[in-house]
């Protein structure tokens, strides 16, 4: 609760990256909540991040959870995979289509055009499962994706950028498939595409890495390991209590012979130690550009015993440190919140600059969100989506 309240209080306060840098107000993307582990279960059965993510959600503060979750936990992506899986089984009849739309598609794409979706499912069902002996044809998974997104009326749905990034990640999966299969010309090959989505893509596309790299306008809730090399204006290092940060000492367990691993183990490899935990704690502290908070709860969810202060927190000694949770940083002034430009997606060539100036949002769809950009229909679809963003603004 305290962490979420402090984030809400600091959003919209002035921040400058350095002397002479332009001033801007802090936004959600400028904050990170870092912990030793996000997925470990609390005594109440919830993952460790839940107390923080629920508090942010209760205050309508967007966040991205870098907890190693599957990209298919995202409704927009999961619905697309479910449609591909349904088409793998054979032509989709009207009853199957109705169930698919009501259970999977509509919750993620509320503006879905039902009749147009019927037509897409019927057309692709025939083409994927053509009769034996029929002339071979070239089918492209990206074309199916574009047909579905048009039927789901994505262009007029005014999805936020996080949903568009999710769709872009699914598009990239299909691009990776098409780098192996130039086309899907048989039922067997389409089945391979679906198996890729169900098995390989489930583990191979780390949504947390995608979030960290593209930095959406949302608070980052993450493990320390996940954000190595990144910095944030405001960082909260949480769960700094004994047994959690530093974590309990663990020894290496493996089926490999001990004598084979002896040399590495003697050097401390594959085991956590106080020194290793201290290095990780230092990494967490140095992610902060301006404000750093180190916190720990005396009583954990469903816990019965009071937690002592972590030795790591107790070792932070400096005259400028403040231990009063009610004191705000000095010199805060209000400023209009504005997210820092993502330099990784700015145009760098003459053609890119010309394209960017014509429609920055369309450029971002294809460059930052990695939405498939070849083919006239795909280009028209993203242009309509970008136009919807401009009109909504």
pLDDT at 297: 82
* pLDDT, tens digit, 9 for 90 and up, residues 122-164: 999 999 998 777 777 788 898 899 899 999 998 888 887 778 8
pLDDT band at 304 (very low <50, low <70, confident <90, very high): low
Q: How far apart are CA 388 and CA 391, in angstroms?
A: 5
Per-residue pLDDT, averaged over 74-86, amounts to 93
The yes-or-no verdict on residue 96 having pLDDT over 90 is yes
The yes-or-no verdict on residue 382 having pLDDT over 70 is no
* Mean of per-residue pLDDT scores for the chain: 81
The yes-or-no verdict on residue 320 having pLDDT over 90 is no
Decide if domain 2-68+218-314 falls under CATH 3.40.50.720: no
Bridge partners of 28? none
Task: Return the minimum-mean-pLDDT range out of 161-175, 237-251, 276-290, 353-367.
Answer: 353-367
pLDDT band at 83 (very low <50, low <70, confident <90, very high): very high
Per-residue pLDDT, averaged over 303-328, amounts to 82
* pLDDT, tens digit, 9 for 90 and up, residues 336-345: 999 886 555 4
pLDDT band at 227 (very low <50, low <70, confident <90, very high): confident
pLDDT band at 383 (very low <50, low <70, confident <90, very high): low
pLDDT at 376: 53
Give residue limits of the domains in the chain.
Answer: 2-68+218-314, 72-211, 344-392
Name, in order, each residue with C-beta under 8 angstroms of 227's C-beta and a sequence gap of 6 or more.
32, 34, 66, 212, 220, 287
Task: Return the minimum-mean-pLDDT range out of 109-113, 252-256, 331-335.
Answer: 252-256
Higher pLDDT, residue 71 or 118:
118
pLDDT at 61: 92
Q: Is the pTM of this model over 0.75?
A: no
Higher pLDDT, residue 292 or 274:
292
Q: What percent of the chain clears pLDDT 70, i.e. is strictly above it?
A: 75
3-state SS string for the chain: CHHHHHHHHHCCEEECCCCCCCCEECCHHHEEEEECCCCCECCCCCECCHHHHHHHHHCCCCEEEECCCEHHHCHHHHHHHHHHHHHHCCCCCHHHHHHHHHHHHHHHCCCCCHHHHHHHHHHHHHHHCCCCCCCCCCECHHHHHHHHHHHCCHHHCCCCHHHHHHHHHHHHHHHHHHCCCCCECCHHHHHHHHHHHHHHHHHHCEHHHHHHHHCCCCEEEEECHHHCCCCEEEEEECCCCCEECCECCCCCCCCCCHHHHHHHHHCCCCCCCHHHHHHHHHHHHCCEEEEEEECCCCCCCCCCCCCCCCHHHHCCCCCCCCCCCCCCCCCCCECCECCCCCHHHCCCCHHHHHHHHHCHHHHHHHHCCCCCCCCHHHHHHHHHHHHHHHHHC
* Radius of gyration in angstroms for the set of CA atoms belonging to the chain, rounded to a whole number: 25
């Amino acid at each position: 609760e305290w962490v979420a309240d402090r984030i809400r209080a600091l959003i919209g306060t002035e921040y400058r990256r350095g002397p002479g840098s332009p001033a801007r107000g802090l936004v959600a993307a400028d904050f990170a909540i870092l912990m030793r582990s996000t997925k470990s279960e609390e005594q109440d059965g919830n993952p460790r991040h839940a107390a923080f993510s629920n508090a942010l959600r209760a205050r309508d503060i967007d966040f991205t959870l870098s907890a190693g979750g599957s990209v298919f936990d995202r409704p927009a992506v999961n619905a697309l995979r479910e449609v591909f899986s349904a088409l793998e089984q054979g032509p989709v009849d009207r009853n199957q289509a109705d169930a698919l739309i009501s259970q999977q598609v509509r919750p993620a794409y509320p503006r879905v055009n039902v009749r147009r979706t019927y037509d897409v499912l019927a057309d692709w069902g025939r083409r994927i499962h053509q009769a034996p002996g029929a002339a071979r044809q070239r089918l492209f998974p990206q074309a199916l994706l574009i047909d579905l997104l048009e039927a789901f009326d994505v262009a007029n749905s005014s999805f936020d950028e996080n949903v568009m990034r999710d769709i872009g990640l699914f598009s990239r999966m299909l691009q990776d498939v098409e780098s192996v299969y130039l086309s899907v010309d048989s039922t067997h090959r389409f089945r391979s595409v679906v198996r890729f989505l169900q098995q390989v893509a489930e583990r191979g596309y780390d949504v947390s890495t995608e979030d960290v790299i593209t930095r959406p306008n949302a608070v980052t809730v993450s493990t320390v390991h996940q954000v190595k090399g990144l910095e944030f204006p405001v960082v909260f290092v949480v769960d700094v209590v004994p047994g959690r940060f530093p974590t309990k000492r663990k020894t290496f367990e493996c089926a490999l012979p001990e004598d084979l691993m002896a040399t590495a183990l003697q050097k401390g490899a594959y085991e956590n130690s106080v020194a290793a935990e201290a290095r990780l704690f230092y990494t967490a502290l140095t992610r902060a550009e301006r404000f750093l908070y180190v916190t720990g709860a005396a009583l954990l969810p469903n816990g019965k015993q009071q937690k002592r202060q972590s030795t790591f927190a107790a070792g932070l000694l400096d005259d400028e440190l403040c231990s009063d949770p009610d004191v705000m940083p000095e010199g805060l002034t209000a400023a209009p919140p504005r997210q820092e430009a993502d330099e990784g997606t700015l145009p760098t060539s003459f053609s890119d600059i010309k394209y960017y100036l014509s429609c920055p949002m369309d450029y971002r769809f294809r460059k930052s969100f990695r939405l498939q950009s070849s083919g006239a229909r795909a280009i028209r679809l993203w242009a309509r989506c970008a136009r919807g963003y401009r009109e909504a603004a």
